[in-house]
Amino acid sequence: MLKKTCTFIALLIFTIGQAQSTYFVANQSEGGSDTNLGTITAPFATVNHALSQMIGGDTCYLRGGVYHEEILIDGFNGTSTTVITAYDNEFVRFDGTQEIQNNWTLHSGNIYKTTLTAPIWQLFVDSSRMVMARWPNAQFNDESAYSHDTWAEGIEPSSNNGFALVDSSIHDLGATGIDFTGAIGIMNVGSFKTWTQRILNHTPGTNNFVYDSVPNNGYRTKHHYYFFEGKLEFLDTVNEWFYDTTSHVIYLNMENGQNPNNNFIQGKVQDYAITMTNSSNVEISELYFFATTFKAQNCSDISIRNNHFSFPSCSKRMLQNLDKPLATQFGSTGSGNEVHNSILEKCLFEHTDGEAFRVYGNDNIIENNYLHHIDYTASELEFLMVTVNIKGDNNTFTKNTIHSTGASATIAPGNSSEVSYNDVTQTGSLQSDGAVHQGTSATVQNSNLHHNWIYQTPKYALRFDAPGGSPGAAGQHGKIHHNVVWSTNGIMVKGNHHYISHNTCFSNNGNGLIILDEDSSNDSTYIQNNIASKLSAHRQHHISLYPVPGFFDHNWNGYDMSPLSVSDVIDTITYIPLAGSSVIDAGIVIPQIPHTVVGTLPDIGAYEFGGIVWTAGADWSPNFFPWNDPTIVQDTSSASLNTVAAFNDEFLVYPNPFNETVTIESISNKTEQAIVSIYSSTGQLIGKTLLTNGKKSIDLHDLDQGVYWVNIQSESGSNQLKPIIKK
């Protein structure tokens, strides 16, 4: 009996020791203390202390508040998931800044100054990001920081690697009278590559300078752009700031000559709020990150879900540090540092200096995220310098929305990747060349690019391309199918043994579907069931001069259909074939490409008449910075379109009710672009279009009577949702 009792007690102790536990953390002002028990009524004050009490499978709930911790999650493993999350939808903010409460004194003109005790490398005034003092000037609040128009331009034939001659007719460097020696140059002298280099020699009044040369294999003799930071003399307009690393004095030029003593001012002092190492089965969810972010290495089966990252990364150029920005990272280089079998889902990434994020590892899923205003320098990025750099095998990038990016290429997908159901527009504003999807050599092999919307970008939409003298060098055995591409440089394909099928391409610059035959490319590629206003084996010229190689049949090619255009066979808003269109049942069954047939044979193009109306992009509307209470964020999925979003009206929608057409007009008469999406009352996307020049009329005469929703996503990132009624 005694033996059985001891066995029972031992089993009970073991069971209690293995039981999952729940811990709570709250700010000290809300009763948090690390001497507490970590319960909901007696919470800990720090997440790190909670982690010291936790084992794999435990949960840490964070009560609402602002947290400045640098958290280390190390060695958490187990069959159950360890969770760090906000409690009961409370607003939890990780903040990588410190408030600057110093007394400011007038320096000169409208410039104020104060002395700091610790360095900062990003500055916010009343939650608005300030501009590092620069020449030529640019602003964030008018989007000019994302335009090459605010960069100086070079005269390339008279320049070389290490020496630049500035085109004074565009921006006159000599007229500034400033000595640029010692300044920092953000040098886009590699077409699709940009470097941060030191200016070694400049004579005031001249338009040439010597700079620390860039790698010889990266320098190009075309498309030179640059701007400069790192000198107090550049501080000459509102919303600019400068930090002197020697004297520790910070200078600030406030708008309207304001005295900064009356404002809430914050400086960035942190790179990563959360670092995760040597762990598995960990979830981080429902958190907000301001001027800080997250990184993981040597982890597997981790989940980063439902988080908002605003201003997550920033270069330390203001501290005279020319290294690349420390961006959000899933893994890092080296086999022992990678992250595998993990998911990044339903997160917002906005206003970065540097990539949106980097992924190193295999079998990861990047799904249903929203990325906008990514990187205003595109300098010192990894690989080909892209918005999202993925290095590894079998990664999936799906259902993401991306717009307003600086880097020439948007997605470098890794090997054997799937890139699907993404909505991408307005990319690559700060570099030349490039593509939304940039596939090179090994990354093309077994890649699957399908069901994407890519539009309104000066770059190629999808590209299988790499320098070399053979199809193998450019990549082989890739699939590009069921994509809709308009107002881009089109789809360009090198290599061989591909399937290019069921794509819809129209209104592109030059040819919309380009199947190159150079270096013996594509003689065994299948090009079938595509709609293209212009399809050829050349970037610009007619198919009669450049016939398409490979197995080329059952396509609708505008070159052969004159005087018809794509709008005669499909609805260019919904992308669906028109009733009675010649593309219906005009395709061929392609066993290697999944396609649900309605009728006797597949339709040509990305959509099947009467079939599933698929949509692309994130299915939710983020709480863009400056954040509102999360409870009023409007979800644009079908589940919640019956509630009007709590956004400020920036656009008029009229007449309402309407008969045939509805007009969208910017109240402020701005010329910024906006994406206009029309939804049914059940949340099904009917179509989308682009508003330019502040006003657009949309023909909706084919709609039945009833209530619809128009969602307007402005270039600056705001959203407006309005009900409209068809009479």
- DSSP code string of 555-567: -EEGGGSTT--GG
pLDDT above 90: residue 512: yes
Look-up of token digits 């649900």: 596
609 contacts: CB under 8 Å, gap ≥ 6: 576, 577, 579, 581, 584, 598, 599, 603
Q: What is the pLDDT of residues 224-233, one digit of tens each?
A: 999 999 999 9
- CA gap 146, 293 in Å, rounded: 22
Q: Give strand ranges (E) for 68-122.
A: 71-74, 82-86, 92-95, 97-99, 105-108, 111-115
390 contacts: CB under 8 Å, gap ≥ 6: 358, 359, 364, 366, 397, 411, 412, 413, 414, 417
CATH 2.60.40.3080 residue spans of the chain: 634-726
- CA gap 462, 488 in Å, rounded: 10
544 contacts: CB under 8 Å, gap ≥ 6: 559
Query: Alpha helix locations (H) across 543-637?
Result: none
Contact 131, 138 (CB under 8 A): yes
Q: What is the pLDDT of residues 460-469, one digit of tens each?
A: 999 998 777 7
Q: What is the pLDDT of residues 550-600, one digit of tens each?
A: 999 999 999 999 999 999 999 998 999 999 999 999 999 999 999 999 999
- CA gap 417, 413 in Å, rounded: 6
Look-up of token digits 């591409």: 485
Q: What is the pLDDT of residues 619-649, one digit of tens each?
A: 988 889 988 644 322 333 332 222 222 233 5
Contact 405, 456 (CB under 8 A): no
Nearest to 355 by CA among 332, 386, 383: 386
In which band, very low, low, confident or very high, does the pLDDT at 9 lie, cut at 50, 70 and 90? very low
Q: Which CATH architecture has domain 634-726?
A: Sandwich (2.60)
Amino acid in position 373: H
Mean pLDDT of the chain: 90
Estimate to the nearest angstrom the gap between the alpha carbon of 475 and the chain centroid: 26
**Alpha carbons within 13 A on the beta-carbon side of 519:** 15
Least reliable range by pLDDT among 73-77, 256-260, 592-596, 633-637? 633-637
Q: Above pLDDT 90, what percent of the chain?
A: 77
- CA gap 662, 96 in Å, rounded: 44
- CA gap 369, 514 in Å, rounded: 30
